[in-house]
Structures are given as C-alpha cells and as structure tokens.
Structure 1
Amino acid sequence: MKTVIVTGPGTTAVREVPTPSAGPKDVLVRMRASGICGSDSYYISIGGIPPRQGETPLGHEGAGEVVEVGAEVQGVAVGDHVVINPIAPGSGMIGSGGPQGTLSEYLLVENAEVGTSLAIIPDDVPFDVAALNEPMAVARHAVNRTGVKPGDKVVVFGAGPIGLGAAIGFKLSGAQSVVVVDLLPSRLEKALAVGADAVINSSKEDVATRLTELHGTGTTAFGKPRAGTDIYLDAAGAPVVVQTALANAKHHATIGVVAVHKKPVEVDFGAILDAEVNIVTSMGYPTEIFEVTKEIAENWEKFEVIISDRFGFDDAQQALVTAATPGAADKVVVTIG
C-alpha cells in the first residue's frame, strides 16, 4: 500500500509499504479520507518525530471503511464506516510519531474497541466530513471547558476550523447567542453558514461596541460597564484577543483559550480583579473524541462548510504544501480511494 511520510526537514514522500493484516483483536480499515492538521506541517518542518526522525508517517484525522475484522473483535463488521481515535492505546500515536498515519491507503486499528479506538458512523455521512471528527473533538472539548449553559451569550474569536466547530458546539449546547469575530469576510460568511447568530469584522468594527449592541450591558463587581457576554473563546491565538476579552469581561465571565499562543501574552491582573473572570485553557479531547461523532452525523451539512479544500490521494503532497501555506486554505482534506 501507499503511505505518506516525512523524509527530512521540509520534505515528504509517498512510500510503498506492506499492507497490514488484522490480528484476532484488530480491525483493518481502508482509509477514505484524512484531514491535514497544523501539527502535520510542524512535523514536516522539523523532519519528523523521534524515534522516527525522517521516517514519520503523517495523518491523524481519519475516516474509512472496515475491510477486515479480527475474530475476537465485537461490534464491528466488514463494510462499517468508521472514524479513528489516533491516541487510543496501541503501538504508538497514529500520525504523531507512531508507526502509522491516516494518510495511507490502509490503517490497522490495534486492540479495536468501539467507543475507545474507533466509532461507527452512518453511511450517509461523507467520508471527508467524517474525517473532521478529531479536530471537532478538540473544538467540543473547548466548548465543554467553558461550562456553557443554555441561554449563555458567547463570542468566538477566530473562524478557522476549531473556531467554527466551537460555534456549532455552543449552539448545540443551547447558547442563546453565538457571535464570531475574524478579520476575513470569507471566514465570517462560513461562520454564519454554520449557525452563528452574528459576526464581527474586527478590521472594520469596534469589537467592544458591537458586543454591547449584540449582548447588552453587564458590569464588573464594582459596577463598571462591560459587554453582557458570558463566554469568550480564543480560537485565534493573537495576544489582542486575550487583551480584548479581559478588557470587556463582565463579572464572572469565562475566558477560554484553545488557540496555541507561540509567545507570552502580557496580562494586567490588577486591572481585571473586579471582574473576577474565570480563565480556562483547553487541549485535546479527554472524553470528546466520540462524543462529537453523533453531532457530526446529525449535522454533517453544517460541519461540511468547514472544509475549504479537497485533494485526491495522488496529490497528497500538494495538499500538505497548501495546508502549510499561510492564507492558502483553512481546512484541507485528502480523499483516498
């Protein structure tokens, strides 16, 4: 079979490797789609991950069709459509330093267990949308970390894949109003398409003024006027986002950070004491990897909007280049077979 690997700093290749066979506790999946994550670009830039430096298989956002089932595996049948948990116990993390990646024609799911290492998805969900399961679990964990309640008023900064997924998650959790902030009109259009109640173009509009218009007025503990927003989520990773959220947060508002900040962010805690804000951070998906699967199945048309570019497997290396080029694409998915 063919698989895509990192061969050195900045280089990749498509290699022919033996097709794995399922043992009694395993499932063999014919991969049908794999999303590309920013971490894939990072692995390429550094030449792979030890101990497979220079020989790291790529891809951890996968969906496919079961073609072989071990004799001891229960709840899975040949022909089932499935999504994969890349960090489930096995011989290594899928696509993040382990011996396999989802940018392959086949993937061996070791010690296969429904609800732990894989989940079955309805046949009517397109494979490319199903491949969003892993990043949408990241977005759902961010939503869960903020403690959103029905009726909450929310603002999401950043309309990339995680921000859009979070916007969907907040609405499904009963948020009264979800506002999305970004600089790019095309991204803001997507935010409205996935169900955001309003959008703010921060390059043209004053965020604080618009949030007050949309969410009403709140106060700090000492009565200083603030926007009536209950939850701020940073899915952008720009220092100005954190600073804007802190400057506008009302008493007991929650500020969640799911974005990766590559540099320290200066915070004046003295200036925000009377807001008594709750600051939470979010990483990965401790429980959400398959909690989000049902949401995708029931709302796949909304999640499909998140995909910006599709490439065939023969063009997988070009897909990686496109995904790594700033401004070239938002969410790239490679279709396989």
Structure 2
Amino acid sequence: MREETVMRGVYLPGDSTAVLRELPVPEPGPGQVLVEVGASGICGSDIGYIYHEHKGHRGVEGAAYQGVVSGHEPSGRIVAAGNGCTRFGVDDRVIVYHIAGCGLCDNCRGGYFISCTSPRRQSYGWQRDGGHARYLLAEESTCVPLPDRLSYVDGALIACGFGTAYEGLRRIGVNGDGDLLVVGLGPVGLAAAMIGKGMGARKVIGVEVSPRRREWAGSLGVFDATVAPAGDAEATAGLVADALGARGAATTIDCSGSRAGRSTAIAGAAEWGRVSLVGEGGTLETEVSDALLHKQLTLYASWVTSLTAMTTLATNLARWGLRPEGVVSDRFPLAEADAAYRLAAGASAGKVVLLPSESLS
C-alpha cells in the first residue's frame, strides 16, 4: 500500500546545479499510470540544453525546459492505474517512452511520438514531470513492456540512448554480412556497439578521442578494437581499415555529433557502405565526389526511435542475452543528484543513472 503523499524531485535551474524540491505524489487520471521509478538516466541532451543553461530545442521559441522534474529516461513498476487503462496495470514493469504525443498526427500513428507535430506534444523532464523522482505520472500510451530478464537500469537505458542507437542501426541494416564502425564512444556509441553485436555485425570497431572512454569501452567485451583519431579523417580511416583487415566497414554510425566524427564515419565506410548519423548538434562538412559519389555511399539520419521499435529492442536484448546496464559506470541515489549531474557533465567514463526508489534498487 502506497502511503506517501509527498516526494522529492530533481529540478535543473540552469546554473550547472541539480536541486531537490518537494512536490505532491500525483494521482493517475483516465489513461494514466503512476510508475514507481526504479532507475532514471541522465542524458547528454539534458546537459546540453538544460543543466548549464535553459536553451530552445527543436525550433521552440525560448527555453524548452518548463521548470518540471527532470529526467526523460525512466523505468519502473506501475503502482496505480487510472480509469480506461487496458494494456498495463499494477505491478507491470515498464519503460517510459520519453515523449507524450498527441496520438493523432501521422508521426504518432506510426509510433514516432518523438516527431509529433502537435502543440500538445510534451517531453518527460522538459515540459512535464520526468523520472528524477520516486514516482512518475505517465500516459499509458507511452509505456513499453520491460522483459523480466532485464533490470530497471536496463530499461532506463533503452528509454533513450539504446533506442536512439537501435533506430540508427536499423536504418543502415546492420547484419552478419559486414562490419560496423562506431564513432564516438559515449553512452549512445556504447549502446550502438552492443546492439550491433546483437544484430550480428562481424566486427565492431570504435573510434574515440578520450583515453578514459576508450579504456572503458574496451572493458565491455563488445568491441573488436578501439582506436584514437589520428590527424584527419582519412588517417583515422586507415587505422580502422587496419583493425578490420578490410578497406572499410559496410556500416558506420556517428554518435559524436561532431564535424570530425561525421567525417570519420564517412571516410571509414567501405564502397557501397551505409552511414548513420545520430549525434545531435554540430555541422556536416564533406567533399562529395571521392568521399560520397565514387564510393556509392548512402547517408541516413535518425532521431530517437518509435514506440514499436523500442518494444522490439527490449525483447531482442533479452533474447540476445545483452544487458544495457553494462555501459553504466556510475549509479547515484536521488539524494546525490547534484553530484551525479556534475559527473555526467564532466568526466564520466560511461553512463550515469539515478536510482530514485530504494525499494526497487
């Protein structure tokens, strides 16, 4: 029996701090569920657009963050359900897709709530309360089943970073016929490598500037080799080719969001290769004839994933025996949210997550 009426949530004032404030435990209305949060990740987009300063995002006028409880990567257990809920109920373990769309536009009807075109679109942790609190009020329509074989930390990672990586890899058709190059070994890059292995990539090679991140990535057991950038993109592509024993990778994905990283993903692709761009921000600058046309490359860009693909991903990860929580380097209780955000914004080796509910950790 849930007895709490008040809980603490994490807010981001935009001055490089995370503060805890009290707020009421919400009650679910029609079509809503109350989720006890087992784990909630800290995302790079929160650092870039909210933590240091409140910025606009996705064409939004003014700050995108509306002063709500932060955190858009939640996973947990449903403890109450409102009227009209039919698919999920009390005690169901769920991942919460981090956008609540209108449900009516073409993007929503295809499962891509991330690209909802309605002004009613709200992101958890940006325009409505998110997962950095013990309880989260969620729309039933945004819930994804969390397989029993996966932990709440696994679910939190699937909610954003792993979903983003999976969509990028689906677009380029990673399979056992070729190798995979991953550029940028932050949390999304680590996710791409793990999923790429599950999808059957023959070899997975990583490129990363940070020695600490290369060391952490190498310890996960999913990379066949990790290399540091060497001079320009062509020189780095030469190192990748040496590691592969081939002239390039059939599939490449840039998770760095940098101009240099994108150039490396293009240069490291083999003839007829397929290149995926998922890293936010920055620019793309490339020579066209030799880099693209003469190599017959195809470039794909994707933004997060769909609700249905996220459901498939969770099922596949359990079937493949892969645990996303392996990319987590640091876990913090909710009371230490400020320290967690400082680490995530600084020199964390891997993913940083909060564990809001002691009863589920």
TM-score band, normalised by the shorter chain?
0.7 to 0.9
5+ residue gaps in structure 2? 1-6, 57-61, 103-119
Q: What does residue 222 of structure 1 align with?
A: none
Structure 1 contact 129–300 (Cα < 8 Å) conserved: no
Contact 1:130-1:296 at 8 Å conserved across structures: no
- Decide whether the 8 Å contact of 2:20 with 2:335 is kept in 1: no
Residue 131 in structure 1 maps to residue 160 in structure 2: no
The answer on whether the counterparts of 1:167 and 1:196 sit within 8 Å (CA) in structure 2 is yes
Aligned-residue offset at 1:82: 1.2
**Runs of 4+ residues deviating >6 angstroms:** none
Where in structure 2 are the equivalents of 1:178-197 lying within 5 Å?
A: 178-192=204-218, 193-197=220-224
The answer to whether the 8 Å contact 1:158/1:236 transfers is yes
Match of 1:86 in 2: 98
Deviation at 1:255, TM superposition (A): 1.9
Partner in structure 2 of residue 323 of structure 1: 344
Distance 2:352 2:147 in 1: 22
Q: Is the 8 A contact 1:9 1:45 kept in 2?
A: yes
- Contact 2:259-2:284 at 8 Å conserved across structures: yes
Distance 2:121 2:22 in 1: 20
Once the two structures are superposed, what CA deviation does each residue of 1:69-118 show, in whole Å capped at 9, x if it has no partner? 224222323222211011133775243432211111111122x14xxx11
2:353 aligned to which of 312, 333, 337: 333
Tell me the secondary structure at the aligned position of residue 57 of structure 1. Answer: coil
Distance 1:104 1:277, change over 3 A: same
Contact (CA 8 Å) 1:11, 1:47: kept in 2 or not? no
Match for residue 181 of structure 2 among 140, 143, 155: 155
1:108 aligns with 137
Residue in 1 that maps onto 2:70: 58
Q: Shift of residue 21 of structure 1?
A: 0.8
- SS of the equivalent of 2:24 reads coil
Number of the residue aligned with 1:278? 298
1:231 and 2:251 correspond: yes
- Structure 1 residues 124, 211: CA separation in 2 closer, same or farther (over 3 Å shift)? closer
CA shift for structure 1 position 127: 1.7
2:58 paired with 1:37: no
Equivalent residue, structure 2, for 1:220: none
Q: Distance in 1 between matches of 2:65 and 2:188?
A: 28
For residue 18 of structure 1, the aligned residue among 24, 27, 36 is: 24
User: Identity, % of aligned pairs?
Assistant: 29
Aligned-partner residue type, residue 124 of structure 2: G
SS, match of residue 275 in structure 2? strand
- The whole-number CA distance in structure 2 between the counterparts of 1:298 and 1:19 is 36
Could you tell which deviates more after superposition, 268-277 or 185-194?
Answer: 185-194
Matching residue's letter, 1:285:
T
User: One-letter code of the match for 2:86?
Assistant: Q
Post-superposition CA distance 1:213-248 (Å, at most 9, x none): 34344xxxxxxxxx1421121112332333334445
Equivalents in 2 of 1:181, 1:301: separation in Å?
Answer: 22
TM-score, length of structure 1 as denominator length: 0.85
Gaps of 5+ in 1: 218-226
Matched letter for residue 307 of structure 1: V
Tell me the amino acid that sits aligned with residue 232 of structure 1.
T
Q: Which stretch of the first structure deviates more once superposed, 316-325 or 121-130?
A: 121-130
User: Of 285, 301, 304, which residue of structure 2 is paired with 1:266?
Assistant: 285
TM-score by length of 2: 0.79
Give the deviation of 1:35 after TM superposition.
Answer: 0.1
Out of 53, 58, 79, the residue aligned to residue 46 of structure 1 is 53
